[in-house]
Homo-oligomer: A and B are copies of this chain.
Amino acid sequence: MAILDGSKLTRNAAGRMVPEIANGHQQVPYLGVDKNRPTGNKTGPPIRTANDYPADGDKRFVDLETALRKCGLRDGMVISSHHHLRDGDRVALMALEAAARIGVKGLTWFPSASFPSQKSVIELMDSGVIDHIEGSMNGPLGDYCTQGKMRGMGVLRSHGGRWQAIQDGEVHIDIAVIAAPTADPFGNCDGSHGKSACGSLGFALADSIYADHVIAVTDNLVPFPCVPWQIQGNNVDYVVTVDSIGDSSKIVSGTTQITRSPDRLRIAELVALFLRDAGVMRNGFSFQAGAGGIALAFVSYLKRMMKEAGVKARFVRGGSTKYLVELLEQGLTDYILDGQTFDLDGVRSIASNPRHVATSPFTSYNYNGKGNFASIVDAVVLGATEVDTNFNANVVTHSDGRLLHGIGGWQNCLAAGCTILAVPSFRDRIPVIVDEVTTLCGAGELIDVVVTERGIAINPRRQDLIDAVKGSKLPFRSLPEIKAEVERICGGKPQRPKRSDRPVAIVKWVDGTVLDSVWRVG
């Protein structure tokens, strides 16, 4: 289907060639930032009746395979899962392998993200059980996609875009399988307690609300009521208990160490200094930083500066880590608004501190709503694989064209008051600042500042920021200037990937339009 689908291409408002149809669904090409107007109404799942569910609230079911059969699993259905257990998750594979045993074909797997530990899904795609993945593909699964081996077309969405697609009915989830670190027999689920605790379960919320059928899978069953109920049992059909939903050593995975690279520490410090000098760091401000090494180091620098200046944040957004938890516990922020919980300190905090609040992509990121938290945040610090001299950026592919990363909340965060990309100017002797990004994930007009170890570039559109840092001694430079220096060091521009004319995945913008294509490589 993918080859047929991708055969008709059109040029979108960003000048990118994108397929008109993907996986049989007509697509709307990207129209520009804030240009697409949604129509119609949100979708609704089938109306159920309590008469079909056990009066005593006990929805436990013998095993996942039987539950999938009971949900009417058949060829071509969409099965969803969440990635709060990250590279430690076992439940998504359990469900997909059970589907294989049942003998169905042509499924769409709709994870909020997929990870290297799930690479055996490749066998399920080879054998036709799974047609394609709609969702972030980290590592081998993305590689498989760019090799052109996936039958259907990959669809990459931001966390907010995933909510939007479900809410708007673009993606109809037939069966959601929700890994639950704690659950009760009614199906109330909590991520913040249990041996496989992962903190928030926000990525699974849309699935639980909108899917036709919902199966909760837990390794920690508690008597009703499971409190807090991050997922409501009122949306759950079956509860399945298993020995283990994941490998807890990998649930809190390895992205939560502060970088030790002097260059990256320098970048982190420059970001913090920029926010201070630009006056963004002031009483009552807010910021978001993820769990990468640079972002963590940035929080550490910023914290020191906040203490020195006697400044307190109103809220910080995460990916929560011990660095954000320290801010909360030391009174340097009123709240953590948590999208996902990255380490054990985060889990402990969200389980016990009412000021550490679980959020969902609806709350934080959904563009097709009545606003969301992302645009309220004063400053956000993000990464990128490539940035061009117009501040356009890429987060999903490398310069060799391989799809190796998901979008996460990256696109959604571009709505913040001050969007900063904190990137090394080159990686493995390949320049990060380029003439044209391999894959466009976010328009330069939304990216305000690029901070590298070689200097800070402010987007000329942000005259207010340029004015704000007048007199600052920070190393401000233009992107072309940094780029030229890096090309001298690296011996030239990155090699353009040898790519075919066949799109293997599309990158959605936050409003559901198609921003760019990922092409088969080689």
Contact = CB atoms under 8 A, between A and B. Distances in A.
A234 B366 contact: yes
Interface in A203-237: 214, 223-225, 227-229, 232-237
Nearest to A371: B53
Contacts of A227: 335, 354-355, 357
Contact of A314 (B41, B224, B369): B224
Interface in A350-402: 354-355, 357, 362-363, 366-373, 375-376
Interface in A288-321: 314-315
Which of A41, A335, A366, A367 has the most chain B CB atoms inside 10 A of its CB?
Answer: A41
Contacts of A46: 40-42
Interface size class of A (residues with CB under 8 A): 35 or more
Contacts of A284: 223
A406 to B, nearest CB: 22
A469 to B, nearest CB: 21
Interface of chain A, helix or strand or loop or mixed?
loop
A47 B57 contact: no
Contacts of A223: 284, 314
A72 interface: no
B234 A55 contact: no
Given A53-B371, A363-B232, A43 B41 contact: yes
A354 B511 CA distance: 37
Interface of A: 34, 36-57, 59, 167-168, 186-187, 214, 223-225, 227-229, 232-237, 284, 314-315, 335, 337, 354-355, 357, 362-363, 366-373, 375-376, 415, 417, 511
25 contacts: A34-B51, A40-B46, A42-B44, A43-B44, A48-B368, A49-B369, A50-B375, A56-B375, A57-B373, A57-B376, A59-B371, A186-B373, A214-B370, A223-B314, A225-B357, A225-B373, A227-B355, A229-B363, A233-B370, A234-B362, A234-B363, A234-B371, A235-B370, A236-B370, A237-B370
Q: Which 7 A-B pairs have the closest CB atoms?
A: A42-B44, A53-B371, A57-B376, A38-B47, A55-B375, A41-B44, A34-B51
